[in-house]
Amino acid sequence: MKRLEHSPDPAYAAGPPSHPLPIVLIGAGGIARDAHLPAYRKAGLPVAAVVDLDSDRAIDLARAFDVSSTYTDIASAVAAHGTAAVYDVAVMPDAFASIIDGLPDEAAVQLQKPLGYTLAQARDLIEIIRRKRLTAAVNTQLRFAPQVAAARALIAEGAIGELVDIEVLVRVETRWALFPSVFGLERMEMPMHSVHYVDLVRSFVGDPSGVSAVTVGHPGKPLASTRTGYLLHYADRPLRVTISTNHDHTFGPEHQASAVIWHGTDGAVRAQLGLLLDYPRGGPDRLELTTGDGWWDVAVEGSWFPDAFAGTMGALQRYVTGESSSLPTSADDVLRTMAVLEAAHEASRAGGHPIPDS
């Protein structure tokens, strides 16, 4: 039987759209400056406007990237651009509902991940999207990171045989002070970080049949959770999926890790995601392949930030303009990622299967 990983969506390998629509960027924060706008400039995607409640911040960002227009409210941006633009929402999830409710019906919009903090919030967003008939995607950009894209192509062509194991290992020191909005969240690590890896796994092998998980905080940090472990169950195949994240490794770079490893019956592929090593400066990216007789490097250009952001926006643009017939990052698809996270939260809260009496 042909598996999902052997026939990936063509959008993952497609280039920039041939006739891109102008982008209206909503949110002038760090992610917009560090990733969205550098990626769009590099890919030749036009940005028409920046929208932010802080007019000085919007103007400063627009000047830095030669964007001609700025607005301090959604209504003004919509009045100027209507449905002739793609709205790129780069803010925290609690602002999504009011923003997309203010967009014109039948507009195209990309939401920053996660699609809400909880499954209930995600479902509420989907209701608005459907009521307004929006073409909506979610910026699950790790799917499009250059090392991931190259690994996806190798696996699809059968370079490592049948996929039997996916392992994600993140052991880093994350400077959460760079993201002050995460303090006070009731759910933190899963929706704000490891959602990336759950979503990535789904993009390769589909939905799991079940999930086991634990997510915990650190006694020295005022955060709901900073470390998570997942086991994703695939009952219909001999596939093991593990995701382990530890943002509390404050003991130097020697034993930090940030990698995804795909094991097959005939070999393995390892992608090192250098971005998380000494974030935001980052460390080296690397892609390695083995078929049983040593490992060798596979040449890959680009990095998760900013290059992957052009991939998600490009996929949405090609779908909106009719250049592509599929949208793998649709809000409906990412709703399933949120369902897995919800199950993981419940599994962690349940505390695992009780140990039988001896």
Q: Over the stretch 290-303, which tens digit does the pLDDT of each residue have?
A: 999 899 999 999 99
Q: Give the confidence band of 135 by pLDDT, cuts at 50, 70, 90.
A: very high
Which residue from 286, 350, 353, 340 is spatially nearest to 122, judged by alpha carbons?
A: 340
Say whether pLDDT at 176 is over 90. Answer: yes
User: Distances in Å between the alpha carbon of 213 and those of 186, 194, 344?
Assistant: 17, 12, 5
User: For the purposes of burial, counting CB atoms within 10 Å of the CB of 241, is it exposed (0-12), middle (13-18) or buried (19 or more)?
Assistant: buried
Which residue from 55, 112, 47, 33 is spatially nearest to 81, judged by alpha carbons?
A: 47
* Contact present, 188 and 182 (Cβ < 8 Å): yes
Say whether pLDDT at 251 is over 90. Answer: yes
Domain ranges of the chain: 10-141+309-327, 143-307
pLDDT (tens digit per residue) in 83-114: 999 999 999 999 999 999 999 999 999 999 99
Say whether pLDDT at 211 is over 90. Answer: yes
Which residue from 287, 288, 212, 283 is spatially nearest to 244, judged by alpha carbons?
A: 212
Phi, psi of 60 (to 5 degrees): -60, -45
Residue 2 has a pLDDT of 81
CATH 3.40.50.300 fits 143-307, yes or no: no
pTM for this entry:
0.97
Q: Establish how many alpha carbons lie within 13 A of residue 313's alpha carbon, considering only the half-sphere containing its beta carbon.
A: 34
CATH of domain 10-141+309-327: 3.40.50.720
* Contact present, 308 and 285 (Cβ < 8 Å): no
pLDDT (tens digit per residue) in 156-168: 999 999 999 999 9
Q: Establish how many alpha carbons lie within 13 A of residue 114's alpha carbon, considering only the half-sphere containing its beta carbon.
A: 30
Say whether pLDDT at 280 is over 90. Answer: no
Residue 104 has a pLDDT of 98
What's the average model confidence in pLDDT over 187-214?
98
Vertex 264 angle, CA 168 and 256, to 5°? 25
Q: Give the confidence band of 284 by pLDDT, cuts at 50, 70, 90.
A: very high
